[in-house]
Structure 1
Amino acid sequence: MGFIMYDSTSQLHIEDRALAHLKVVIATKLRRNESFTVSWTHAEGDAYGRSTIWLHPSIPLRFTFEGRQQPALNPRWIEELMQSANSTGGITLVDEVVQDSSIEGHDKSPTSG
């Protein structure tokens, strides 16, 4: 379970595989100097509800992964997240879009551990 450190104070805990995909989308948007939101429902055991943060290229952001290995990336999942990022609602963390049987074991919720 990794996390995104946002504004040097806030942390969003997220499973490493989902975080790797989210990092690609966030880095792409910020590299284009685009601001957007990221929304998620709180994980079991956290306060009930949902949260949204505003991401802007000037806000410090750090991605920390628990594992040392970069997971194989699923282009279809990245595309789904990018479409979400380009919408008026911003990125909403969604379950992985399984594209073939070799990835079926990785269809966990983005915030599950």
Structure 2
Amino acid sequence: MGSLVYGSPGAALEIDDRLLAHLQLVIVTKLRRNEQFLLSWDSEGAYDNGHTAVWINPSIPLHFKYVGSKRPTLNRAWSEALMDAANSAGGLRAVPEPAGE
């Protein structure tokens, strides 16, 4: 499990390395275009249930930390689905990876 760290000192969101690699591609692409957007996720844990959303802005520090030593391969269809979500009013959120990819 890698993590996405946003802000300073930084709030960390634990994410599977494969999903994190796809989110990194989408987030970096949007920030390179100087596009701000909403990132949201559901939390399900013993002490953390609910929904969280943060506004992603180029002026806020952002770190992608991976646990695995290998770079995950990227699935173009999944990247496009995540980009579609990021461009929607609901913002970027994890969507299932398309089957058979």
TM norm structure 2? 0.93
Q: Say if 1:94 and 1:45 are closer, same or farther in 2 by CA, change over 3 A.
A: farther
SS of alignment partner, residue 62 of structure 1: strand
Q: Which amino acid aligns with 2:38?
A: T
Residues 19-98 of structure 1 mapped to structure 2, 5 A cutoff: 19-98=20-99
Equivalent in the alignment of 2:2: 2
Q: CA RMSD in A?
A: 1.1
How many angstroms does 1:25 deviate by? 0.2
CA deviation profile, 1:36-95 (whole Å, cap 9, x unmatched): 011111033341111001101111000000001111110000000000001111101122
Q: Whole-Å Cα distance in 2 between the matches of residues 43 and 64 of structure 1? A: 21
The CA deviation string for residues 4-33 of structure 1, in whole angstroms up to 9 with x for no partner, is 110032111100000000000000000000
Find the aligned partners of 2:40 and 2:24 in 1 and give their Cα distance: 14
| Dislocated runs of 4+, deviation >4 Å | none
Alignment gaps of 5+ in structure 2: none
Q: Distance in 2 between matches of 1:46 and 1:14?
A: 17
Question: Contact 1:38–1:93 at 8 Å: present in 2 too?
Answer: no
The aligned counterpart of 1:13 is: 14
Between the aligned partners of 2:68 and 2:74, the Cα distance in structure 1 is: 15
